[in-house]
Structure 1
Amino acid sequence: MIEHTQSYVKKNPRLYHILVLVVFLTIYGCATPIAPTGGPPDKEAPRVTETFPVPGTTNFTGDTFEFQFSEFIQRSSVSQNINVEPDLDLEYRIKWKKKKLSITFLDPLPDSTTVILTLGGEITDTKRNKMGRPLTVAVSTGPEIDEGTVTGKIKEAESGRSADGAKVLLYREPFDFSKKATYQAETDTSGEFNFAYLREGTYRAIYVDDRNRNKIWEQGLEDAQPFSKELIELEKAGGDTLDVLYINKPDTIAPRLLGVGLFSSNRLRLRFNENIKIQEGADISVLDTLGEEFSSGYVLYNSQKDPFVAYAQSSNELGLSQEYGIRVNGITDAAGNRAVTEDVIFEGSTQADTTIQRIISHETKNGISPTQSVEVVYAAPIQDPMILDSIVVIEGDVSFDDWPAIEVINNRLFVDPQGTWIEGLTYQFLVWSPNSRRRQLYTPEIWDEVELGDLILKAANRDSGEVFSVSLENESIAFSVDTVFTDSLLIQNLPPVNYTLKVFIDRNSNNRWDQGIPFPFKAPEPYYIQQGVQIRQGFASEIIMQF
């Protein structure tokens, strides 16, 4: 066979090379072209520079839509980002020629119909830059094109940021959520969506986490939320703008304890499957093989290096060759789900505790209020008298080595003010660091009363008597306010830092924000969020909330 091929090449060299070239060009033409390399990184989003037909064309009789891109496109990203509306069950073929995409329908388009073809914002170029903003081309096979519009905006309820790539399904009457939506839109990078070229009629819009991209709300499997308006009435060439929808993708999965390690007969290392938070007063119960409490205990701290790890202390020694279970209280994830510890069994230990006592953290770096304690967290229970005996409080120019307001709770040291920290004085705290055998100096910023500010909240255009639930927090200083009001609210003596403000109207008095139900329809409770609320020293800031 090899000898035959070599003989053929010798006899027909020109024909052989032509055949090789044809095969190469055929393979090359089917692949995604690669842009030339070199130069600065390409961060520019691809865009469509020209379409055929142009949007708004009437009496269209063709079967092919063409899109000319500014960049070479990652062709595998296109097929899942083509949307034809209304849902006509029309099959089509995709063809590429360099940067030009052609979509050819295999059956004739229906007469006197507005056909909308949308390229989704998830289409990427060969450098993985997304289009970001969907592109729509609409044509009519009749003399008129539908011109109705529905627009809106979607934001994330937790952060207030614009929700990019969120799917909105629009149904035309009669409504049947078990079938494909009549139209689908996708939010751009600013969270905005737009339905265009709509016929007059009655519509309903819902947000759906349409993971399988089939334009159907899979009830029980996919999250969905309604807009505040149930029915949208469109006249011919009319338009409507929906209220901002805040979507909440709730994290309902509890953190799970994966394992327990013992550094000694009393010290435990708890490893979870996700990052955790330690609430004030968090504790543990060590269980025997019958599920009864063998020992109480408490949580020491959350590892800064490994935020999915917590350290705890058992009151009783956990003996070698004994099996134990554990129950925890006050350990959650960022969403507030309580940790689950079932089915975790571990053995005790007789190893002596070799933990090096050291300072883990201090709650002073972001400032403290006039009545707030200076809190220092140690690695192990505080038992060394040197830690207490070595404390020095410097109040202005005066040093105190016998400060009376000192408290120890497990592994936490609290230096309390005597009533309040004196206004106008600078405080310094010298705290013993056992591993370095020297005092550690802390000079926190203490906000005097004249440096604190107030916040006034008012709601615009709302019915009197409605109950507003308010959350104002700053995690860096462990500060939060949770309260309710009806007409206006004055929050006084706030440290001058940035806060996150969340407000909702609690219409069913269940003390939580309800995001609504698409079917049967239940409107979402009005919601407001503002990041970066700045409190100014000595002033009252006012926020008028628009729901």
Structure 2
Amino acid sequence: MSGQSKLFLLILFFLLSGCASITPPSGGPKDEIAPKLISVTPADKSLNYSGQTILLKFDEEVELKDLQKELIITPYTDNTYTTKVSKNTIELKFGKPLNPTTTYTFNFRNSIRDLTESNAAILAPIIFSTGSYLDSGTVAGTVTKHLTNMPEADADVLLYRAQDTGTVKTAKPFYVTRTDALGKYSFTNLATGVYKIYALTDKNNSLTYDQDTERIGFLKDSVVVAAKTAPADIRTTRIDTRKPYVLKRNIKTDRAELEYNEGVTSFRIINQPATDSIIYWRDEKGKTIYIQRRPEEKEVKFIAHSADSAGFQGIDTISIAYNLAYRTKKPVLKLESDPFYVPGKDIKLSGSVPVRTIAENAFYIAPDSLTKLPVSYTLITENGNQQIILKPTGLPTNTLQFELVSDSTALISVTGKPFTQFIRTFTVEEGITTGSVKGKIETQLPNYILQLLTAEFKVEKELRNPKAFHFTGLKPGSYRLRILVDDNNNGKWDNASPDLSSLPEHVYFYPELLEIRANWDLEDIIFNPEKTVDKRLK
């Protein structure tokens, strides 16, 4: 056999061997192991570090994710840094030397991940000092939402040195950390001293309180930070600092709609004429004010005064040219209460425009096709918000359904047009489908508001200064009890002041959820607010 033939056979043998070789199957178990830190420079708890580089080495290849958001460096520094990732090492290099005689903490949180499944490295904060000792001050606590008592997760907790002139509105904090899912936070290795402390839901990551939509919490007194510091618990609230103003105008033939930037609690026209007054009303939330066009009126100008629940006031000069080409709709009635009727409860209606007149027998209920029972009503107008309160009586026993019907000629709107006939079928919920709760309030508080809330914190009912309570007609489900304290006795609950000089007034929660069952009275509830201030809700 020639040499060329032998070479050909040898190559063929290797090719066939390669085709027949066994290769490991693709896939395999999912990588759920987080990267492990092998070394760090400077070493944790080291002293007299003079470098400008932080170097971390892991047991596998890693990447950075959301470092600017996740990495917390304390004390706060504006010393910028660059990052370099090379396989299993991460380098942070600062542009300027670190501050002398300073204890630094680097908390990378979830910013370092592996390449395969993006498992986050579990790292303890890296602590070192550029001086000859490590600071020993500590402070910890829990941040909760003031009006719900629920944990304030992922909120920034900010420390400002008491001697500094900067505030949470104007300057970056000296120290910063972040709460966990339970609202807990902890500072270690702080310089001992006196600090002002804040909690902030920092939506724009500015480390300052600069948006009305951010919740903020603070303590009345400064905190003296030592090696062992008493817990500093903080309660956050959203402070309304905006003045109400007209955001949008929608002009029609018969009316104008003024849409505000927030719900207003009061509205009035300052230069209202003595005769032929301008008629106006607002929607349920107070965000839209409706201005009724007067007969033959093509345009109108006036000055509007508005106020919100925080007491902020707005002044708007309004000029309206009515859109005479707009086709108006016939006014209609809308149901504001539950279509499941509980005997003895009221039925509430509102109109798309205010009611001018109602005839005596404007409404009746029909439990069957042959029976018509007249319904008494009350027309209530409060701050431009109008409701018709109906009180059905005389329903035959065992009635399961009935119709509520209006006389289409008996209700006249402020536009002079009659309302479209209202017909609505109600299902009667007998007493066995609802429950109640009763109890006592044991307190020395002089002025407060007791509120019954749903599990989602929606206000269902409220009473002022009760010593006993009995809430009836409740649908089965979970409820909460909350007390808002009128500490300054001005007739309402006040939030924190916009300048942060005063705390929000006290809020207390009954420590357990109330489980309401059908045909059942939950009794003997004793609510002593002063004894439940530190209790956490389920």
TM-score range, shorter chain: 0.5 to 0.7
Say which SS state the counterpart of residue 319 (structure 1) adopts. coil
User: Which of 105, 110, 130 is matched with 1:116 structurally?
Assistant: 105
CA gap of 1:346–1:51, structure 2 versus 1, over 3 A, is: farther
- The residue that corresponds to 1:496 in the other structure is 474
- Extract unaligned runs of 5+ from structure 1: 1-44, 460-464
- The residue that corresponds to 2:352 in the other structure is 379
Which moves more between the two structures, 380-389 or 198-207? Answer: 380-389
User: Which of 66, 69, 74 is matched with 1:85 structurally?
Assistant: 74
Offset, 1:373? 1.9
CA gap of 1:189–1:260, structure 2 versus 1, over 3 A, is: same
Offset, 1:171? 3.8
Deviations 1:117-173 (Å, cap 9, x if unpaired)?
2347799999xx999x99732134678644543112223334444334433222456
RMSD of aligned residue pairs (Cα, Å)? 5.4
Contact kept in structure 2, 1:208 and 1:225, CA below 8 Å: yes
CA gap of 1:114–1:328, structure 2 versus 1, over 3 A, is: closer
- The residue that corresponds to 1:299 in the other structure is 281
Distance 2:119 2:465 in 1: 43
User: Which of 149, 152, 169 is matched with 2:158 structurally?
Assistant: 169
Distance 1:318 1:437 in 2: 27
1:356 pairs with 2:330: yes
Contact kept in structure 2, 1:408 and 1:414, CA below 8 Å: yes
Say which SS state the counterpart of residue 430 (structure 1) adopts. strand
Say which SS state the counterpart of residue 241 (structure 1) adopts. coil
Distance 1:412 1:223 in 2: 34
CA gap of 1:214–1:294, structure 2 versus 1, over 3 A, is: same
Contact kept in structure 1, 2:193 and 2:225, CA below 8 Å: yes
Distance 2:445 2:465 in 1: 10
Distance 1:373 1:338 in 2: 34
User: Which of 176, 189, 206 is matched with 1:184 structurally?
Assistant: 176
Offset, 1:372? 3.2
Distance 2:311 2:481 in 1: 22
Offset, 1:538? 0.9
Query: Structure 2 counterpart of 1:57, which letter?
Result: K
Contact kept in structure 2, 1:390 and 1:401, CA below 8 Å: no
Q: How does 1:326-345 map to 2 (within 5 A)?
A: 327=304, 340=314, 342-345=316-319
Offset, 1:398? 11
1:443 pairs with 2:421: no
Query: Structure 2 counterpart of 1:376, which letter?
Result: L
Distance 2:274 2:33 in 1: 63
Contact kept in structure 2, 1:255 and 1:340, CA below 8 Å: yes
User: Which of 177, 192, 197 is matched with 1:205 structurally?
Assistant: 197
Deviations 1:209-259 (Å, cap 9, x if unpaired)?
778867678999x99653255333423xx2432124233332533152532
CA gap of 1:490–1:251, structure 2 versus 1, over 3 A, is: farther
Say which SS state the counterpart of residue 301 (structure 2) adopts. strand
Say which SS state the counterpart of residue 252 (structure 1) adopts. coil
CA gap of 1:393–1:407, structure 2 versus 1, over 3 A, is: farther
CA gap of 1:212–1:400, structure 2 versus 1, over 3 A, is: closer
1:139 pairs with 2:139: no
Deviations 1:451-470 (Å, cap 9, x if unpaired)?
332144457xxxxx444623
Contact kept in structure 1, 2:63 and 2:112, CA below 8 Å: no
CA gap of 1:384–1:325, structure 2 versus 1, over 3 A, is: closer
CA gap of 1:271–1:503, structure 2 versus 1, over 3 A, is: same
CA gap of 1:390–1:92, structure 2 versus 1, over 3 A, is: closer
Query: Structure 2 counterpart of 1:364, which letter?
Result: D
- Provide the TM-score with structure 1 as the length reference: 0.64
- The residue that corresponds to 1:196 in the other structure is 188
Deviations 1:165-197 (Å, cap 9, x if unpaired)?
433222456555467543112233433222122
Offset, 1:272? 0.8
Q: How does 1:65-76 map to 2 (within 5 A)?
A: 65-66=55-56, 72-74=63-65
Contact kept in structure 1, 2:449 and 2:485, CA below 8 Å: no
- The residue that corresponds to 2:25 in the other structure is none
Aligned length: 468
Contact kept in structure 2, 1:360 and 1:379, CA below 8 Å: yes
- The residue that corresponds to 1:402 in the other structure is 373
Distance 1:352 1:141 in 2: 74
Offset, 1:472? 0.9
- Provide the TM-score with structure 2 as the length reference: 0.65
CA gap of 1:387–1:99, structure 2 versus 1, over 3 A, is: farther
User: Which of 514, 522, 525 is matched with 1:539 structurally?
Assistant: 522
1:263 pairs with 2:253: yes
Query: Structure 1 counterpart of 2:224, which letter?
Result: I
Query: Structure 2 counterpart of 1:401, which letter?
Result: K
Say which SS state the counterpart of residue 329 (structure 2) adopts. coil
Offset, 1:416? 0.9
CA gap of 1:190–1:355, structure 2 versus 1, over 3 A, is: same
Contact kept in structure 2, 1:286 and 1:296, CA below 8 Å: no
Distance 2:281 2:133 in 1: 71
Distance 1:134 1:496 in 2: 50
Contact kept in structure 1, 2:345 and 2:391, CA below 8 Å: yes
1:428 pairs with 2:402: yes
Contact kept in structure 2, 1:471 and 1:502, CA below 8 Å: yes
1:452 pairs with 2:452: no
Say which SS state the counterpart of residue 53 (structure 1) adopts. strand
- The residue that corresponds to 1:12 in the other structure is none
- The residue that corresponds to 1:240 in the other structure is 230
1:252 pairs with 2:242: yes
Query: Structure 1 counterpart of 2:156, which letter?
Result: K
1:324 pairs with 2:301: yes
Distance 2:36 2:197 in 1: 31
1:509 pairs with 2:489: yes
Say which SS state the counterpart of residue 364 (structure 1) adopts. coil
